[in-house]
Amino acid sequence: MSTIVPNGMKWTYEDYAKLPEDGLRHEIIHGEHFVNPSPSTQHQHVSKRLQYQLYTKIELAGLGLLYDAPIDVQLSEFDIVQPDIVIILTENVHKITPTKIKVAPHLVVEILSPSTAGNDRTIKKDLYERSGVSEYWIVDPYEQQVEQWILRDGKYVLEAQAKVIRLSFVSDVEVDFDSVW
């Protein structure tokens, strides 16, 4: 669902920060307000298991920080998103403020829901590519598939659609999706 600001004005982070806490997921993309319902239990199940693997291999290893939704990632004045999972390597943790992340993450994971799948595969993929997100995973919990998109020369390239995904920006870190599903 999308809400348009009257008079064609674009939403900014300041507008976004004024929204009441209503249990819904709000995002601003190209200055347009998007609202999505809470994720399904299947979505949350997959998210929890994926977070566990990434947390133990990234954060506990001292390589960076992992955040899960809801966390605000401000990619520009008019782009504020809440990815399902975000990884910021140690070199960029100084760009994390008490209220938001103000740097393109090294990894963004979006777990598809029926209400978000279209935007995750198009609008958000384009936004992450344009913003310099190194790696983008699109996880389909219903089809039990994952797409690993790697940023090369400013464009995403589909690297893998496999049961085991190896991170492109950290050596020797892989996720086994058989234990996620």
DSSP code per residue over 7-35: GGPPP-HHHHHTS---SSEEEEETTEEEE
- Is position 142 within any domain? yes
Q: Tell me the C-alpha to C-alpha distance, in Å, between residue 109 and each of 5, 22, 130, 146.
A: 28, 23, 16, 10
Q: Please indicate, yes or no, if residue 112 is contained in any of the structural domains.
A: yes
Q: SS3 of 65, please?
A: strand
CATH number at residue 164: 3.90.1570.10
According to DSSP, residue 179 is labeled G
Q: Rounded mean pLDDT of the chain?
A: 92
Average pLDDT over residues 58-68: 97
Domain that residue 55 falls in: 40-179
Say how many domains are in the chain.
Answer: 1
Residue 33 lies in a domain: no
Question: Which strands sit side by side in the sheet containing 32-36, from one edge to the other?
Answer: 2-3, 32-36, 25-29, 79-81, 73-76
Please report which helix (H) or strand (E) contains residue 46, including its range: helix 41-54
Task: Tell me whether residue 27 is in a domain.
Answer: no
Residue 31 lies in a domain: no
pTM metric for this prediction: 0.89
The answer as to whether 120 is a domain residue is yes
User: What are residue 143's phi and psi, to 5 degrees?
Assistant: -90, -5
53 domain residue, yes or no: yes
Higher pLDDT, 34 or 2: 34
- pLDDT value at residue 6: 53
pLDDT at 2: 46
Of 143, 118, 53, the closest CA to residue 126 belongs to 118
Looking at the chain, the whole-number percentage of residues with pLDDT higher than 70 is 96
* Tokens standing for residue 148: 């690993």
* Residue 35 within any structural domain of the chain: no
Report the percentage of the chain scoring pLDDT > 90: 74
